[in-house]
Amino acid sequence: MKIKSIFLFLTFLIVLAFTFEALSQQPLVNIIEVKGLKRIEEGALQARMSQKVGEPLNQEKISEDIKNIFKMGYFEDVKVHIEPAEGGFKVIYIVKEKPTIVKIDFQGNKVFDDSKLKEIATISPGVLSDVTLINDMAIKLRAFYESEGYYHANIVPVVKKLNEEETVLTYQIEEGNKVKIKDIIIKGNRSISTKKIKKVMKIEERKIYSFITGGGFYKKDEMKADIERIKDLYYDNGYIQVTVSEPEIKLIGKDSMDIIITISEGEQFLVSSFDVSGNKVMADDTIKSLIKIKPQKPFSKEILKKDVTAITDLYADNGYALVVISPDVIPDEQTKTVKIIYRISEGDKYTVGRIDISGNTKTRDKVIRREIRLDEGDVFNASALKRSYERLNNLQFFETVDITPKPKLEQKVVDLDVKVKEKPTGFLSIGGGYSSVDGFIGIIDLTQGNLFGRGQYLKIRGQLGGKSSFYEFSFKDPWFMDKPISLGASIYKTEREYGNFDRRSAGFEISLGKSFWEYWHKSIAYNFERTTIFNVKEDASIIVKSQEGTRTTSSISPAIVRDTRDNYLDPTRGSRNALSFTMAGLGGSNAFIKALIDSGWYFPLFENSTIHLRARIGYASGLFGKELPLYERYYVGGIYTVRGLNYGDAGPKDINNEPLGGEKELILNAEYIFPIVSEYKLKGVIFFDAGRAYDKGETFGSDLRYTTGAGIRWISPIGPIRVEWGFNLDKRSGEPSSKVEFTFGTFF
């Protein structure tokens, strides 16, 4: 047995020796050469070759090399030639590189321009003309068109060869018609109605008015967001196990589609209890007083988020800039309840470090810094930071404002990086226009809202219309002597035609104001005016005739305002409450008093829409036996008071039905303001107005005039524009049934 094993081992050694000898006698590869390369480095190919110089020629390795070179994606043809060379072989790889795309065109596209399609593109000039890449690009373009509602779009790539090295790629596009949404079908919902579900969705069926809103078409990204909104609706009603399917698109003909969404609601979960943990600085009772989630009520994701925000704000307003609130929702399948634990990681207390300001090329640093409600060294306060952002926006000097807190963990400070992008604050207008009050008018207006970058306001305005003229020069420094004291001055001259008389006035005003606390401002103004009533008609009332001639007014006007609006130009929340008083008779020939209470409130409703409620109550009376001047009386009616009525229609009139104004006024306005095209700051408004002016002997609050209507508002690059239609709900003799008015200026 042992002899047999030795024999077999010797036999194996002999065979192995003969094999090595045979291999040593095989011709070797002495040279490897690559031909046809123009742009690709030869080393890139050599790295992928398994056939090496100095090794015997191996046909399997060469075949594998051809595959590997093709996989690189740079070549449209690869061949191999083998030639004898110096006792061995020369292996020649002959390649043909793919041409380069030197230009990409789009033809047939009308809805989306070339620049938009190039944003979608994954191919750019300079890349190789690869069939796979070209087809992938066509698929992506088609998917983009589908995501925008063009389900019948057809994309065909066409490659035109200029020469052996260059090609032009053109995508022939047939966009087709945009497919309208005929119906959104909700399946599986039992606890929440289809109406409520559709109400939270942005995508909607095509309606008659959709040509204004642009709605009624499918958008993939918006649809994804709508799925999340539906889930949130269920989460807010205790259905924490809800699932919502991806939308099923069912095409109906060429122009319409149905969208089918299937919902599995699951069971409703109630809150069993809640608790807090991890808090050391703040007491349990302090934190729990902020929590709005209540036991035995359905769980609500929205309330939970608000609770987290409230607790976070509590800590952040006391210096704990990096506090983390992690709500732990623990469901119990048997009882269908959830227990909520607000786990708090308080972190350390932080102070404000450096405040760095950038982006302001014109506006001085101090103009920005004085609006920031935090100073270096202060305890960090998130509410003060938010208020700083609002105040900087309300300057109307900047397109964008960005305040970024940058915590430094070791120093326990938060640096504030304030970046602004300035916008033009100067305005020059020379031309004409049409006013719904004055008819055709000519205007020259030079305004600078940020004079020399100091935040000062300068205005020179001249206006000449069919019924009026107005000239004004005014200046205001909101931080006189770098203190929170405003100083203003103006001179003006105006002339206006009324129904039974004309009025000409000229005067000047000087005002001082001071801000105090955070939202309050008090001011006092002195005004002197010389006014002439002339061209009084023969059939005018005795009140008008008694005031014919020239009179002077010397008055002081104290006022106090509390303004918490988040944005003065386009508010969505907050309020403005003002009390003003005017007393004339300290010199001059007129003597009267006027008082006005003005209160406006803004309440956010749904997403980006707002409810605005406003009330004004005014009182005026002559003093020392003198009559209240006609031009100081209250005239109610028009775009600034009760829309849908002419100027002064909601108040006393003479025998010729001309407005006389009243000594008292009551005006109530209710508005629902909603976005039409958010990116262009275009909004719609639906309103209801009520109001009237009252004379002596009339019961205040009686016989109110009511109107309703709608309009659009646009925060244009040159200022806010209003166009509103009002319908007279109580039309009287000589009055229009409806009225369209527009104005250029600040929204009221």
Kind plus residue range of the DSSP H or E element containing 386: helix 382-394
Residues 550 and 683 in one domain: yes
Gap between the Cα atoms of 638 and 650, Å rounded:
9
What CATH number is given to the structural domain containing 603?
2.40.160.50
Asked if residues 180 and 204 have their Cβ atoms less than 8 Å apart, the reply is: no
d(CA 210, CA 422): 36
The C-alpha atoms of residue 239 and residue 673 are separated, in whole angstroms, by 32
Question: Is 233 found in the same domain as 164?
Answer: no
Question: Cα separation of 358 and 422, whole Å?
Answer: 10
Asked if 678 and 594 sit in the same domain, the reply is: yes
Residue 13 resides in a domain: no
For residue 175, pLDDT over 90 is answered with: no
Cβ-based neighbour number of residue 503 at 10 Å: 19
Per the CB < 8 A criterion, the answer to whether 118 and 144 are in contact is no
The least confident of 87-96, 530-539, 550-559 is 87-96
Angstrom distance (rounded) from CA 65 to CA 652: 100
Cα 748 from Cα 746, distance rounded (Å):
6
- CB-count burial class (<10 Å; 0-12, 13-18, 19+) for 28: middle
The Cα–Cα gap between 328 and 118 comes to 45
Average pLDDT over residues 49-71: 82
Label each residue of 225-237 as H, E or C. HHHHHHHHHHHCC
Spatial strand order in the sheet of 100-107: 100-107, 166-174, 154-161
Lowest mean pLDDT of 253-257, 341-345, 453-457, name the range: 253-257
- Report the percent of the chain where pLDDT is more than 70: 92
**Would you say residue 473 lies in a domain?**
no
Backbone angles phi, psi at 697, to 5 degrees: 90, -15
Asked if residue 213 and residue 117 are part of one domain, the reply reads: no
380 belongs to a structural domain? yes
pLDDT of residue 432: 47
Rounded Cα distance, 669 and 93, in Å: 85
588 and 726 co-located in one domain: yes
Residue with tokens 């204004």: 212
- Residues contacting 305, CB < 8 A, separation 6+: none
Q: Which residue has the higher pLDDT, 515 or 76?
A: 515
Model confidence band, residue 4 (pLDDT cutoffs 50, 70, 90): low
Q: Which helix (H) or strand (E) holds 33?
A: strand 29-35
E strands, 98-221, are 100-107, 154-161, 166-174, 180-187
Q: Which of 264, 285, 300 is where one domain is finished? A: 264
Question: Residue 449 to residues 428, 446, 457: CA-CA distances in angstroms?
Answer: 12, 10, 4
- Residue for token pair 């109550």: 617
Considering the domain architecture, whether residues 278 and 378 belong to the same structural domain is answered as no
User: Is 696 part of any domain?
Assistant: yes
- pLDDT (0 to 100) of residue 499: 75
Furthest-apart CA atoms within the chain: distance in Å: 151
Q: Is the pLDDT of residue 18 over 50?
A: no
Q: For the chain, give me the number of helices (H) and strands (E)?
A: 13, 32
What pLDDT sits at residue 108? 86
For residue 252, how many other CB atoms are within 10 A of its CB?
12
In the predicted model, what is the mean pLDDT of residues 660-675?
95
Contact by Cβ (8 Å): 511, 525:
yes
pLDDT range class, residue 211, cuts 50, 70, 90: low
**pLDDT in the model for residue 12:** 53
Query: Cβ of 612: how many Cβ atoms within 10 Å?
Result: 20
Per the CB < 8 A criterion, the answer to whether 422 and 359 are in contact is: yes
Same domain, 27 and 68: yes
H-state helical runs in 25-54: 42-46
As for how many domains the chain has, the answer is 6
pLDDT in tens, 475-506: 999 999 888 899 999 999 999 887 788 899 99
Asked, for residue 309, whether it belongs to a domain, the answer is yes
Q: What is the pLDDT of residues 706-723, one digit of tens each?
A: 999 999 998 876 667 888
The answer to whether 551 and 534 have CB atoms below 8 angstroms apart is no
**Residue 436, pLDDT score:** 45
Q: Distance of CA 353 to CAs 173, 241, 347, 688, Å?
A: 56, 45, 17, 50
Shared-domain flag, residues 625 and 653: yes
Q: By mean pLDDT, which of 185-189, 321-325, 388-392, 534-538 is the weakest?
A: 534-538
In a shared domain, residues 687 and 554: yes
Confidence at 365, pLDDT banded by 50, 70, 90: very high
User: Rounded distance, CA 718 to CA 741, Å?
Assistant: 19
Determine, yes or no, domain membership for 443.
no
Mean pLDDT confidence for 295-317: 95
Task: Return the number of other C-beta atoms located less than 10 Å from residue 383's C-beta.
Answer: 12
The angle that helices 382-394 and 301-316 make with each other, rounded to 10 degrees, is 90
User: Does one domain contain both 239 and 380?
Assistant: no
In a domain, 2, yes or no: no
The Cα 495–Cα 602 span in angstroms is 36
Name the nearest CA neighbour of 502 among 534, 539, 530.
Answer: 534
DSSP structure class, residue 681: T
**Residue 656, both tokens:** 């010729």
Q: Do both 589 and 654 map to the same domain?
A: yes
- Write down the residue that tokens 């004409």 correspond to: 432
Q: Which of 57, 78, 97 is the last residue of a domain?
A: 97
pLDDT tens, 62-118? Answer: 888 788 877 777 777 788 888 887 778 888 888 877 788 888 888 888 888 888 888
707/567 same-domain check: yes
- Does residue 628 carry a pLDDT above 80? yes
State which residues form the domain around 389.
Answer: 351-422
627 inside domain: yes
Which pairs from 374-377 meet CB under 8 Å and 24+ separation? 374/416, 376/352, 377/351, 377/352
pLDDT tier at 203 (50, 70, 90 boundaries)? confident
Q: What pLDDT does 427 receive?
A: 66
Last residue of a domain, one of 143, 174, 205: 174
More confident residue, 276 or 153: 276
List CB contacts of 22: < 8 A, sequence separation 6 or more. Answer: none
Whose CA is closest to 282, among 309, 308, 320?
Answer: 320
Is the pLDDT at 592 greater than 50? The verdict is: yes
Q: What is the CATH number of the domain that holds 169?
A: 3.10.20.310
* 429 pLDDT above the threshold of 70: no
Ramachandran angles phi, psi of 694, nearest 5°: -125, 145
Q: Render the burial of 682-706: b for 16+ CB within 10 Å, e for the rest.
A: bbbbebebbbbbbbeebeeeeebbb
